[in-house]
């Protein structure tokens, strides 16, 4: 079934609450109806939540997918429903409440609560794909969060809790990647970054690297990847999600989306140069590394342009000792000299965990070299 109008923006509520179709959505009966859960990660808490009710405290230790999952039945196919969730004390930058078609496993809707000290309620309207909908509370990053009411009600229902002052306002829809950037900004507001980190920024190759921290033990890494980003987008958001963090080392992966959108190698180089100029002006002495655009089975049509971008940027970074270049191309090739499909997801575009394991060593070497420069007396 083709789903239309599923993803409406988050909105502030004013009407009285309707009947919650999700049994035990307020966790009054602990984790009953919510399937199997690790009690060390999903802890039932009785305390100072609204009206003295119970809630769950999520204590996520790492970037693995820790989730509560259940299926709600009895819906009317094609009808509109509203999902609402209340959270507070959220320090998990990748906390998601996911709606999924239980038959096809496809996304129907997604909520990403903003980091906040106070209780906040966020909602999303969706159309039922059938008589059932899967509901998941998923944490994919280290941190903690308290979750109170999770509700699914019939119709388009306004929300009762305004977003607290500590939550960043949602950007206008016309702003590309606005929701993803707002999450980073809100997280930094609640948890100010400590200067001197090693910050990765770029497209989905960075965003999807959820196991990044394990490959760089002893290194304080930050992941600022946002899916679909071009080098131009990384440049445009540099002032908001990179420079305020004051990293000691910035590693950039971007450019293949530019080429796929008919951008030129020269444009990618120019945008990277401007990114470097701004970073060096704001953060004197910062190390900046460009990670080469990877080859992929899905984008062999732009292979020549990809190689040209890599050549131009590798040549450019030689002009400045604070700049570096990491070539990950060879690590992803098979014996035939072509991208090894075994290292990629089914889409032929995104690398899988084995792919990340392959590209990690040359990046580790570059981080060690840059760190040695920063620690010299």
Among the ranges given (59-63, 206-210, 278-282), the one the predictor scored with the smallest mean pLDDT: 59-63
Higher pLDDT: 29 or 83? It is 83
Whether 238 has a pLDDT exceeding 60, the answer reads yes
Last residue of a domain, one of 130, 154, 178: 154
| 162 located within any domain | no
Residue 95 pLDDT level (bands cut at 50, 70, 90):
confident
Interaxial angle between packed helices 265-282 and 303-317, expressed in degrees from 0 to 180 and rounded to the nearest 10? 30
| 17 located within any domain | no
Whether 56 has a pLDDT exceeding 90, the answer reads no
| 270 located within any domain | yes
Give the chain's radius of gyration (CA, Å): 22
Q: Could you tell me if 248 and 367 lie in one domain?
A: yes
- Residue 206, domain extent: 193-374
Q: Could you tell me if 147 and 200 lie in one domain?
A: no
Q: Check residue 167 and give its pLDDT.
A: 43
| CA distances for 117 relative to 9, 80, 138, 163, angstroms | 22, 31, 19, 11
| 243 located within any domain | yes
Last residue of a domain, one of 102, 123, 154: 154
Distance between CA atoms of residues 315 and 75, nearest Å = 59
Distance between CA atoms of residues 201 and 226, nearest Å = 8
Nearest alpha-carbon partner for 138 in 67, 207, 208, 89: 67
Q: What confidence tens digit (pLDDT) does each residue in 204-216 have?
A: 999 999 899 999 9
Task: Taking residues 312-329, report their average pLDDT.
Answer: 97
| CA distances for 96 relative to 62, 100, 139, 182, 327, angstroms | 15, 12, 6, 15, 33
Q: Check residue 138 and give its pLDDT.
A: 87
Q: Check residue 10 and give its pLDDT.
A: 39
| 18 located within any domain | no
| 179 located within any domain | no
Q: How many domains does the chain have?
A: 2
Q: Check residue 377 and give its pLDDT.
A: 53
Last residue of a domain, one of 131, 154, 177: 154
What mean pLDDT is reported for the chain? 84
Sequence-distant (6+) residues with CB within 8 A of 277 are none
Q: Could you tell me if 234 and 362 lie in one domain?
A: yes
Q: What confidence tens digit (pLDDT) does each residue in 135-191 have?
A: 999 887 777 888 888 889 888 755 444 444 444 444 444 577 887 888 899 889 888
């Amino acid at each position: 079934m083709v789903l239309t109008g599923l993803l409406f923006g988050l909105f502030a509520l004013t009407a009285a609450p309707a009947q919650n179709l999700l049994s035990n959505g307020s966790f009054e009966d602990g984790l009953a109806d919510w399937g199997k859960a690790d009690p060390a990660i999903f802890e039932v808490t009785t305390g100072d939540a609204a009206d003295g009710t119970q809630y769950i405290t999520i204590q996520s230790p790492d970037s693995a997918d820790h989730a509560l999952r259940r299926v709600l039945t009895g819906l009317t196919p094609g009808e509109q429903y509203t999902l609402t969730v209340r959270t507070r004390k959220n320090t998990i930058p990748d906390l998601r409440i996911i709606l999924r078609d239980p038959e096809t496993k496809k996304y129907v809707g997604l909520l990403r609560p903003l980091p906040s000290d106070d209780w906040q309620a966020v909602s999303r309207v969706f159309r039922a794909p059938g008589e059932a909908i899967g509901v998941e509370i998923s944490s994919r990053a280290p941190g903690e969060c308290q979750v109170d009411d999770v509700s699914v009600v019939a119709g388009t229902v306004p929300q009762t809790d305004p977003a607290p002052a500590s939550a960043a306002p949602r950007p206008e829809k016309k702003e590309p990647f606005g929701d993803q950037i707002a999450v980073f900004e809100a997280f930094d507001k609640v948890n100010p970054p400590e200067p001197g980190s090693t910050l990765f920024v770029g497209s989905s190759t960075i965003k999807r690297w959820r196991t990044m921290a394990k490959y760089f033990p002893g290194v304080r890494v930050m992941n600022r990847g946002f899916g679909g980003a071009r080098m131009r987008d990384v440049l445009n958001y540099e002032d908001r999600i990179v420079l305020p963090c004051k990293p000691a080392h910035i590693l950039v992966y971007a450019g293949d989306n530019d080429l796929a959108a008919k951008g030129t190698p020269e444009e990618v180089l120019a945008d990277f140069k401007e990114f470097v100029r701004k970073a060096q002006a704001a953060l004197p002495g910062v190390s900046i590394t460009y990670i080469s655009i990877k080859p992929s089975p899905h984008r062999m049509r732009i292979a020549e342009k990809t190689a040209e971008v890599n050549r131009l940027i590798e040549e450019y970074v030689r002009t400045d000792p604070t700049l570096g270049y990491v070539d990950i191309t060879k690590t992803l090739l098979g014996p035939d000299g072509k991208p090894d499909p075994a290292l990629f997801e089914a889409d032929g575009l995104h690398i899988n965990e084995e792919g990340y394991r392959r590209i990690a060593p040359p990046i580790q070497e570059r981080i060690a070299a840059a760190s040695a420069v920063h620690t010299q007396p």
